[in-house]
């Protein structure tokens, strides 16, 4: 991957880049846009919005999942709001041009190493979980997934011919001390503002990189975070514990691949994929600026795209995370999160979380209802 000199381009404090992407992405991001405009109009916040293509839609138009022009826009944005990328339409596309490469390039080259994925069971939706209510009610886990290292990006990689007409597929799992320490630090800092507990997951029983992970997390803890409770857990055990007793967890910190899987699993405990936001954060530079991308946990859901039934709440809550983590607008984040709660309390539901007695609303009706509660 080419380095585009990300450290040389200045971040514009108020610039928000919308990359709606594919499938239901455009529908849910258009609700976020309404909310940003509401904050601009009613709260005189001077957000500068730009919008462009990334993912399959960019491939269709430009033959590449993300153009250099869009990539540079991303570099100078304080906040990127991504919808979703990919879908079966692009299954046959060559690996390096797949829609997902846009996402991976943004993560890697913007150095967004810390992926925060909350799994919260909303009390209004306890019954939507496949687990018993007493197991999930009140659930509030934060998964911190390392996002720019490990097997997702390690070299060598590829598919190579070997003897006898066979081929071999190669990927490499690598972590350096500093990659482990910087993400562990995020997890410890978050835990301090929550229930003060970190569970670090790896496979130190099988992988050297897992052994290093465990040692570095422990030594950072002993040096700087003695007051935070730290537990190490093998990733397979963590997967089992998430189903057995998920409320034992507060913050989970883990590598890129385990984080991908454990966060999907944790999100399903809540029963409502359509509600869960995420943040991918970079490091702060010496001026305190940080690049960041926010996106709903759910994917592009091509089967329901264009029908106006997608749930915009995960994207809207992702924007609340942007207000909190990138824009230093905690009060506005609270207001937005509260508006979502009120609308859920009033029984408005998009199709994915519809239950008996609730009122079904479309994507844009849900967005409008949330805006109406912002006042």
Least distance CB 100 / ligand IPM (angstroms): 4
| Partner that binds at residue 100, options Mg ion, ligand IPM, none, CB closer than 5 to 8 Å by kind | ligand IPM
Rounded to whole angstroms, the Cα distance separating 36 from 344 reads 21
What are the two backbone dihedrals, phi and then psi, of residue 167, each rounded to the nearest 5 degrees?
-125, 155
Choosing from 59, 98, 111, 152, the catalytic residue is: 152
Q: Any catalytic annotation for residue 91?
A: no
Q: Which is nearer to Mg ion, 266 or 313 (CB)?
A: 266
CA 365 centroid distance within chain? 25
Assigned token pair, 7: 């450290």
Sheet of strand 251-254, all strands in order from the earlier edge strand to the far edge: 48-51, 12-21, 77-84, 292-296, 277-281, 114-120, 140-146, 251-254, 197-202, 229-234
Please tell me whether residue 78 adopts helix, strand or coil conformation: strand
Q: Any catalytic annotation for residue 236?
A: yes
Q: Any catalytic annotation for residue 52?
A: no
- Minimal CB distance residue for Mg ion: 260
For residue 113, CA distances in Å to 184, 224, 335, 375 come to 11, 20, 28, 35
Q: Which is nearer to Mg ion, 255 or 260 (CB)?
A: 260
Choosing from 127, 227, 236, 330, the catalytic residue is: 236
CA 290 centroid distance within chain? 16
Least distance CB 93 / ligand IPM (angstroms): 14
Q: Any catalytic annotation for residue 34?
A: no
Assigned token pair, 23: 């499938």
Q: Which is nearer to ligand IPM, 23 or 367 (CB)?
A: 23
Residues near Mg ion (CB under 5 A) are 260
What are the two backbone dihedrals, phi and then psi, of residue 113, each rounded to the nearest 5 degrees?
-85, -15
Least distance CB 200 / Mg ion (angstroms): 20
- Minimal CB distance residue for ligand IPM: 100
Least distance CB 209 / ligand IPM (angstroms): 18
Q: Any catalytic annotation for residue 264?
A: yes
Rounded to whole angstroms, the Cα distance separating 348 from 124 reads 11
Least distance CB 299 / Mg ion (angstroms): 8
Q: Which is nearer to ligand IPM, 86 or 367 (CB)?
A: 86
Choosing from 264, 338, 351, 373, the catalytic residue is: 264
Residues near ligand IPM (CB under 6 A) are 100, 103, 260
Say if CB 129 and CB 100 are below 8 A apart: no
Rounded to whole angstroms, the Cα distance separating 200 from 146 reads 11
Choosing from 98, 108, 111, 203, the catalytic residue is: 203
Q: Which is nearer to Mg ion, 84 or 323 (CB)?
A: 84
Catalytic residue annotation: 152, 203, 236, 260, 264
């Amino acid at each position: 991957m080419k380095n585009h000199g990300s450290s040389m381009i200045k971040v514009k404090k108020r610039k928000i880049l919308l990359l709606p992407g594919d499938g239901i992405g455009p529908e849910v991001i258009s609700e976020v846009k309404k909310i940003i405009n509401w904050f601009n109009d009613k709260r005189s916040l001077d957000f500068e919005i730009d919008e462009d293509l990334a993912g399959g839609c960019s491939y269709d138009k430009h033959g590449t999942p993300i153009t250099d022009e869009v990539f540079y826009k991303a570099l100078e944005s304080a906040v990127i709001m991504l919808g979703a990328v990919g879908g079966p339409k692009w299954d046959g596309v060559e690996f390096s041009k797949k829609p997902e490469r846009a996402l991976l390039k943004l993560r890697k080259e913007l150095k967004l190493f810390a992926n925060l994925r909350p799994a919260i069971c909303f009390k209004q939706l306890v019954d939507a979980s496949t687990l018993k209510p007493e197991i999930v009610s009140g659930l509030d886990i934060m998964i911190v997934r390392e996002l720019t290292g490990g097997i997702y990006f390690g070299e060598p990689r590829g598919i190579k011919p070997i003897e006898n007409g066979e081929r071999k597929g190669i990927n490499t799992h690598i972590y350096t001390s500093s990659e482990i320490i910087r993400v562990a630090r995020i997890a410890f800092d978050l835990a301090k503002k929550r229930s003060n507990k970190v569970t670090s997951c790896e496979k130190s029983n099988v992988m050297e990189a897992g052994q290093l992970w465990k040692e570095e997390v422990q030594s950072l803890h002993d040096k700087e975070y003695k007051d935070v409770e730290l537990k190490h857990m093998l990733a397979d055990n963590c997967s089992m514990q998430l189903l057995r007793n998920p409320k034992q967890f507060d913050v989970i910190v883990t590598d890129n691949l385990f984080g991908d899987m454990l966060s999907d699993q944790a999100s399903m405990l809540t029963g409502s994929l359509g509600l869960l936001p995420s943040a991918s954060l970079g490091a702060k530079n010496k001026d305190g600026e940080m690049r960041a991308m926010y996106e709903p946990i759910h994917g592009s859901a091509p089967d329901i795209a264009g029908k106006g039934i997608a749930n915009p709440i995960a994207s809207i809550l992702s924007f609340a995370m942007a207000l909190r983590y990138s824009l230093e607008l905690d009060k506005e984040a609270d207001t937005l999160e509260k508006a979502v709660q009120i609308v859920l309390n009033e029984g408005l539901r998009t199709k994915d979380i519809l239950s008996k007695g609730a009122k079904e609303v479309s994507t844009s009706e849900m967005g409008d209802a949330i805006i109406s509660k912002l006042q």
